[in-house]
Amino acid sequence: MIEILAIDDDRGILEVIRKALTREGYLVTVLEDPLKLDEGKLINYQLILLDVMMPGIDGFRLCRKIRDRVDCPILFLTAKTEEKDLMEGLGVGGDDYITKPFGIGELRARVAAHLRREQREKRHRICIDDVQFSLQEKRLFCEDTEVSLTKAEYEICEYLALNRGQVFSRERILEHVFGFDGDSSSPAITEHVKNIRAKLQKYGIHPIETVWGIGYRWK
């Protein structure tokens, strides 16, 4: 299911957005206080609606802060219509504007258009802490330097990182990476994780945690 995040300090607008987009089949998360944003969950969203004028941190500053961590469209909700304001928003990484007050039909249409565009062409480069993933190219970077991983090692990293915090058994990881009919075995996952840790340790990064008796998770 497509997940959308809407951030606006106006509870009424958030409720309108939630109802309108939920009826379209989207899973909508709303947030009134931008300072309470959990950046660890940003990778879950396929589109972000972001109010410009908010207390604590405005939409432009928040967009600049999170743009390197997400690859999804960011649409500003704003009453500002001056060209210099629009250019500033696009310059910090925004993809589009929806001017307040807006109609439900316009909101649905703009959201649908950007989601369709994402399905046609998506860069899919995301940042999780100090590790960057190029999901399309299946490459992993630390400090902008590519880490040489085997296909299986990369797949394990991506699987754990995109489900950060969840614990997966060796059998579950094996099934995801090699499939039901794979020739590998559970002990091989242990060896792959050992090799991954050795390669990432060179960059002072230790993201894969062993949960004894259960499996592994990306911290």
Q: Under a CB-based contact definition with an 8 Å cutoff, are residues 50 and 77 in contact?
A: yes
For position 121, what pLDDT does the model report? 46
Judgement on whether residues 52 and 131 belong to the same structural domain of the protein: no
Asked whether residue 98 falls in the same domain as residue 191, the answer is: no
My answer on whether 154 and 191 are in the same domain is yes
The CATH number of whichever domain residue 29 belongs to comes to 3.40.50.2300
Hey, what are 40's tokens? Answer: 């660890």
Last residue of a domain, one of 57, 86, 120: 120
Question: How far is Cα 17 from Cα 176, in angstroms, rounded to an integer?
Answer: 35
The pLDDT assigned to 182 comes to 45
H helices present in the chain, as ranges: 11-22, 59-66, 83-91, 104-120, 151-162, 170-178, 186-201
What pLDDT, on the 0 to 100 scale, is given for residue 119?
67
Are residues 92 and 163 both part of a single domain? no
Q: 7 and 105 in one domain?
A: yes
Q: Are strands 96-99 and 139-142 parallel, antiparallel or unpaired?
A: unpaired
Please indicate, yes or no, whether residues 89 and 183 belong to a single structural domain of this protein.
Answer: no
pLDDT of residue 86: 65
Write the single-letter amino acid at 111: V
In the chain, how many domains are there?
Answer: 2
Q: What is the 3-state secondary structure (H, E, C) of 38-63?
A: CHHHHHHCCEEEEECCCCCCCHHHHH
- Among 87, 120, 153, identify where a domain stops: 120
pTM surpassing 0.75?
no
> What does the alpha-carbon distance between residue 152 and residue 133 come to, in Å, rounded to a whole number?
15
Domain identity same for 69 and 97: yes
Is residue 140 domain-shared with residue 72, that is, in the same domain? no
- The rounded distance, in Å, linking the Cα atoms of 104 and 23 is 11
Instruction: Indicate whether 8 and 115 sit together in one domain.
Output: yes
pLDDT values of the chain reduced to their tens digit, one per residue, 219 residues: 899 999 999 999 999 999 999 999 999 999 999 999 998 888 889 999 999 989 999 999 999 888 877 878 899 898 866 556 666 767 778 888 888 889 999 999 989 988 887 765 445 677 787 888 888 788 899 977 899 988 889 999 999 988 888 899 998 898 887 765 444 567 888 889 999 999 999 999 999 999 998 999 998
Task: Residue 142: give the domain boundaries.
Answer: 125-218
CATH code for position 178: 1.10.10.10
